[in-house]
Amino acid sequence: MLRDKVRTLTYRLALVRAKRRLTGGVLLDVGCGTGILSMFGAKAGASRVYALDGAANLCKLAREIIAENGLSSRITVVNGRAEDVQLDVDCVDAIVSEWMGHALLFENMLPSVLHTRDRFLNPPPSANITDLSAWRRERLFPCRTTLYIAGFSETPSEGYDPEESRYSIDEEGLWDEISELYEVNLTGAFASAARNDSETQIYVDLMDPKCIITRDSEIATLDLATVSPNELTEHGVKGSFALESMGTADLRGFVIWFTVEFPDGDILSTSPYKKPTHWQQSLLYLSETLSLVQDDVLSGEIHFTHPTEAPRDLAINIDFVMNNSEETRVKRTYRLSS
C-alpha cells in the first residue's frame, strides 16, 4: 500500500493541515501496519502517538521502522485488538486509520475504529465541549465517507479497444477448450458451478471511464463522528440509487467506488475518473445484459452486509427496476471473500 501514492500523500497532507489541533496532543493510529501514518502524525506535531495493530509481526516491523526514523521516544507500538486494548491514557486528541477495504467495507475494519472512537476520542472535562460530534469530526482522519454507483457496458465507446477489455466474464467456449486440452469433461456440472460463481462474485479491477454508460448516484454517506459500530454490525449499510442512462448501450453491470473526507476538506477518491488507487473499483456483473436508451432510469436499493459465518467477507444485495416497471425487476446477491 505504500506504493499507493494517492492514498499515502492524501493522509500525509490531511495530518499536516491539522497541525494546529495535533501539536502537543495524543494521536491513536488504529491498524498501524508499518507505522507510516503514526510517523506522519508525529511529524505533524503530536507529542505522543499510539500505533495499534493486531498483528504481532507488523508491530515488530513498525517498531524497527519507527526507530530508524528516530521517533521511538514519541511513538508507542501496541499489539492488541481495538475492541479491548488498554492504553496508559484515558483519552486521545485524534484518531487516524486507514480502515477502508474494497467497496469501502470489505474486511470489516470500520467497527473496530468506531469502538476506539467511543472509548478514547473524548475531550477532557475541562474543555467544556457542548457538541461532541462536531469536536470528534475535527479529530477523525478520515471523518466522513461516501459510496457511489454507476452502470457500465462492454460496448466500447469511440477510441476504446474491446480486445483490451478486462471486464468480460464471457466463458462461452472456454470449458470446451479446457475439456479438450485436459481430456476431461468439464462442460457440465463444473461449467455450471463456475458460471454461477462468476456471476455472484464481486470483481475488483480498474474501470475505464469510457465504459460507464449512466450518470453516477450517491448510495450512502457515513458520518464517522456519529455512526454506531453496533448499527453497522447488525444492519450493515443501506442505500438507494437512480441511474440515468447517457445513451444507447447494453448494461453489463454496476461499478462501485467511494471517497473519504478529512477534517480540513482533503478528499481521497477511488473514482474511475480520478487517479487509480490500490482499491481500484468493485464490479457487479448481471447474468444478462439489459438494453438501455437515452434517459432510461435504473432505480433501486443496495445493501452491504458482512456474513455472520465470515465477518470479514462482504455481501452486496442489489434490487432494481428500469423506468419504474416491475416487469424489469432484478435482484442479485454478490460476495467478496477474504
Active site residue ranges: 98, 107
Grid cell for residue 29: 493510529
CA–CA dist 301, 40 (Å, integer) = 39
Burial of 335 (0-12, 13-18, 19+ CB in 10 A): middle
At 110, which helix (H) or strand (E)?
helix 110-120
CA distances (Å), origin 74, targets 42, 46, 222, 311: 7, 8, 32, 34
Integer Cα distance of 12 and 96 in angstroms: 11
Radius of gyration of the chain measured on its C-alpha atoms: 23
In sequence order, which residues have a C-beta less than 8 Å from that of residue 251 and are 6 or more positions away?
151, 152, 153, 213, 214, 286, 289, 290, 291, 292, 298
Q: How far is CA 15 from CA 2, 60, 139, in A?
A: 17, 24, 10
CB 291 within 8 A of CB 323: no
Distance CA 247, CA 293 (A): 5
Whether the Cβ atoms of residue 100 and residue 112 lie closer than 8 Å to each other: no
326 and 338 in contact (C-beta within 8 Å)?
no
- Enter the DSSP assignment of 214: B
Neighbours of 201 (CB within 10 A): 16
Count of other CB atoms within 10 angstroms of residue 234: 9
